C-alpha cells in the first residue's frame, strides 16, 4: 500500500529541518577560520597553535617524549611519521631511481641532465616549491618533474598524479633526507605571494560542510578524533612528504600507496566534501607552498610511513599485565 505524506507535514518537516541551518548560517561571521593572522612560515609557529612543538621539535625531544609515555597525537605523529624510517617505503625508492636513469628512444634520461641517480638534485627538494623563471610560475616538485619529462624527454604521460611522477618525486625527496626545509617566503616575489594565497585557502571555509582545512588541522580539532583519526597540526607535516600511505589509497589509485603532498591535499578535499583541485594547478600549488613553508626549519625525513604498523605496544601491554 502506498502511504501518502500530507503536504502540510512535509512543509513542517522541511521548515524544522531548514530552520537550524538558517540560524546557523546567520551566525557564521567568519569567512575564514580563526588563526590566519597568527601563522608564521616556520615550524615553531606551532607554539601559537597546539603548543606541542616542544615534544617534537627535534629527535632528542621526541626520544624524551616517547620515554615519558606521551601518545602519538601529542607528538604531532612525528614519533613514527618522521622519526622512524619505513622499510616498505625504502623498497619503492629503487623504482623511482630506475625511472630516473631509464633512457627514452633517443637515449636521454633524467640522468643525462641531472647526473646518474640524480646526484645533482641532492638537497633541492628542501627548497621546493620554487619559482621557475622560464615558465613564469611557481612549481611544486611533481610539476617540475612533469615539465622536464614532457618537454625534455617527450614523455607526455608523466603528469602530477601518475605513478612514474609519484615514484620519481618520492625518490627525489629521499635525496634530500635530513636537509632542513627552507622555502623563502619572506622576500617579496611570486613564492611569497603563493604562500599568502595558500594560507588564505587553508583558512577559508568552503564546500558542502563549510569546513576550512584549518577547521580540522588546528586545535581543538587537531589532536582529537575526527572520522576515526586524529588530525595533525599543519606545522611540519610537509617534512615527511611524499609518504608511504599503506593501506589507504584513493579509488582508482595506482601509486604503490605513495602520497605526494598534492595527493594528500586532494584526499582531504574529497573526504571533507570540498571541490577537489587538479594536482599541480595554481591553487593546489599555493596550498603546498603554504604547507612546505610551514615546515621551514624542520629536516626532511623520507621515506617514512603515514600509519604505524608497529605492534610492539601489544607486547608492552602484555608485560604490564603480567607484572
Ligand atoms: C635536457 C635536460 C633535462 C632533462 C632530460 C631533465 N631535466 Fe630536469 N631540469 C632541467 C633544467 C634546465 C631545469 C631548470 C628549470 C627549468 O628550466 O625547467 C631542471 C630542473 C629540474 C628540477 C628542479 C631542480 C632545482 O634545482 O630546483 C628537478 C627536480 C628536475 N629537473 C627533475 C627532473 C626529472 C625527474 C627528469 C626526468 C623525468 C628531468 N628533470 C629531466 C633539465 C633537464
Ligand atoms: C574534516 C576534517 C579535515 C579537513 C577539513 C581537512 N583534513 Fe587534512 N586530515 C584530516 C585527517 C583526519 C587526516 C589524517 C590524520 C592525519 O594524518 O592528520 C588528515 C591528514 C592531512 C595531512 C597529512 C598529515 C600527516 O601528518 O601526514 C595533510 C598535509 C592534510 N591533511 C592537509 C589538509 C588540507 C590542505 C586540507 C584542506 C584542503 C585538509 N587537510 C582538510 C582531517 C581533515
Residues enclosing ligand 2, CB less than 6 A? 77, 81, 202, 211, 213, 215-217, 226-227, 229, 231-232, 237, 243, 264-265, 268-269, 272, 274, 287, 291, 306
Query: Which class for 99: exposed (0-12), middle (13-18), buried (19 or more C-beta within 10 A)?
Result: buried
Dump pLDDT digits (tens) for 280-293.
Answer: 999 999 999 999 99
Q: Confidence band (pLDDT; 50, 70, 90) for 21?
A: very low
Ligand number with the minimum distance to the CA of 169: 1
Ramachandran quadrant class, 173 (left: phi over 0; alpha: psi -120 to 50; beta: rest): alpha
The pLDDT of residue 22 is above 50: no
The pLDDT of residue 7 is above 80: no
CATH class entry, domain 36-83+182-315:
mainly alpha
The pLDDT of residue 314 is above 90: no
Rounded to the nearest angstrom, the distance between the alpha carbon of 151 and the centre of ligand 1 is 10
**pLDDT at residue 16 in the model:** 46
**pLDDT at residue 231 in the model:** 86
Residues enclosing ligand 1, CB less than 6 A? 100, 108, 110, 112-114, 121, 124, 130, 132, 134, 144-145, 147-149, 152-153, 168, 172
**Ligand 1, atom nearest to 164 Cα:** 38
pTM for this predicted structure: 0.90
* Mean pLDDT of the residues in the chain: 89
**pLDDT at residue 319 in the model:** 59
143 Cβ neighbours under 8 A, 6+ residues apart: 160, 280, 285
Ligand number with the minimum distance to the CA of 239: 2
In angstroms, rounded to a whole number, what is the distance separating the alpha carbons of residues 260 and 159?
A: 13
Q: Confidence band (pLDDT; 50, 70, 90) for 208?
A: confident
Rounded to the nearest angstrom, the distance between the alpha carbon of 160 and the centre of ligand 1 is 15
Please tell me which residue, 83 or 26, carries the higher pLDDT value.
Answer: 83
CATH: 3.30.830.10, 1.10.760.10, 3.40.50.880, 3.20.20.70. Which one for 87-174? 1.10.760.10
The pLDDT of residue 278 is above 70: yes
Tell me if domain 36-83+182-315 and domain 87-174 are identical in fold.
yes
Angstrom distances, CA of residue 12 to CA of 20, 26, 196, 306: 13, 21, 46, 47
Please tell me which residue, 29 or 294, carries the higher pLDDT value.
Answer: 294
Q: Where are the domains of the chain?
A: 36-83+182-315, 87-174
**pLDDT at residue 18 in the model:** 47
Rounded to the nearest angstrom, the distance between the alpha carbon of 44 and the centre of ligand 2 is 19
**pLDDT at residue 68 in the model:** 95
The pLDDT of residue 20 is above 50: no
**pLDDT at residue 228 in the model:** 64
**Ligand 2, atom nearest to 238 Cα:** 29
**pLDDT at residue 77 in the model:** 94
Residue 229 per-residue DSSP state: B
Query: Which class for 318: exposed (0-12), middle (13-18), buried (19 or more C-beta within 10 A)?
Result: exposed
State the pairing for strand pair 243-244/258-259. antiparallel
Find where cell 622499510 sits: 87
Dump pLDDT digits (tens) for 151-174.
Answer: 999 999 999 999 999 999 999 999
Amino acid at each position: 500500500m502506498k502511504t501518502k505524506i500530507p503536504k502540510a507535514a512535509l512543509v513542517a518537516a522541511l521548515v524544522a529541518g531548514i530552520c537550524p541551518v538558517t540560524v546557523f548560517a546567520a551566525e557564521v561571521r567568519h569567512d575564514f577560520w580563526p588563526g590566519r593572522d597568527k601563522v608564521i612560515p616556520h615550524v615553531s609557529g606551532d607554539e601559537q597553535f597546539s603548543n606541542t612543538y616542544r615534544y617534537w621539535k627535534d629527535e632528542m625531544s621526541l626520544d624524551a617524549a616517547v620515554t615519558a609515555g606521551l601518545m602519538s597525537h601529542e607528538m604531532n605523529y612525528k614519533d613514527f611519521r618522521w622519526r622512524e624510517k619505513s622499510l616498505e617505503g625504502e623498497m619503492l625508492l629503487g623504482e623511482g631511481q630506475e625511472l630516473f636513469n631509464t633512457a627514452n628512444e633517443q637515449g636521454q634520461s633524467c640522468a643525462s641532465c641531472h647526473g646518474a641517480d640524480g646526484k645533482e638534485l641532492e638537497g633541492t627538494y628542501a627548497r621546493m616549491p620554487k619559482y621557475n623563471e622560464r615558465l613564469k610560475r611557481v612549481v611544486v616538485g611533481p610539476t617540475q618533474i612533469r615539465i622536464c619529462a614532457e618537454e625534455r624527454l617527450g614523455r607526455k604521460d608523466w603528469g602530477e598524479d601518475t605513478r612514474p611522477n609519484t615514484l620519481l618525486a618520492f625518490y627525489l625527496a629521499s635525496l634530500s633526507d635530513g636537509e632542513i626545509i627552507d622555502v623563502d617566503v619572506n622576500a617579496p616575489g611570486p613564492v611569497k605571494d603563493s604562500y599568502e594565497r595558500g594560507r588564505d585557502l587553508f583558512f577559508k571555509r568552503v564546500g558542502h560542510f563549510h569546513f576550512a582545512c584549518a577547521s580540522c588541522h588546528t586545535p581543538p580539532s587537531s589532536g582529537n578524533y575526527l572520522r576515526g583519526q586524529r588530525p595533525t597540526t599543519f606545522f611540519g607535516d610537509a617534512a615527511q612528504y611524499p609518504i608511504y600511505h599503506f593501506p589507504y589509497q584513493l579509488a582508482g589509485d595506482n601509486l604503490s600507496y605513495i602520497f605526494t603532498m598534492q595527493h594528500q591535499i586532494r584526499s582531504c578535499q574529497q573526504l571533507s566534501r570540498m571541490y577537489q583541485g587538479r594536482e599541480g594547478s595554481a591553487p593546489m600549488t599555493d596550498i603546498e607552498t603554504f604547507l612546505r613553508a610551514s615546515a621551514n626549519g624542520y629536516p626532511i625525513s623520507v621515506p617514512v610511513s603515514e600509519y604505524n604498523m608497529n605492534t610492539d605496544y601489544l607486547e608492552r601491554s602484555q608485560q604490564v599485565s603480567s607484572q
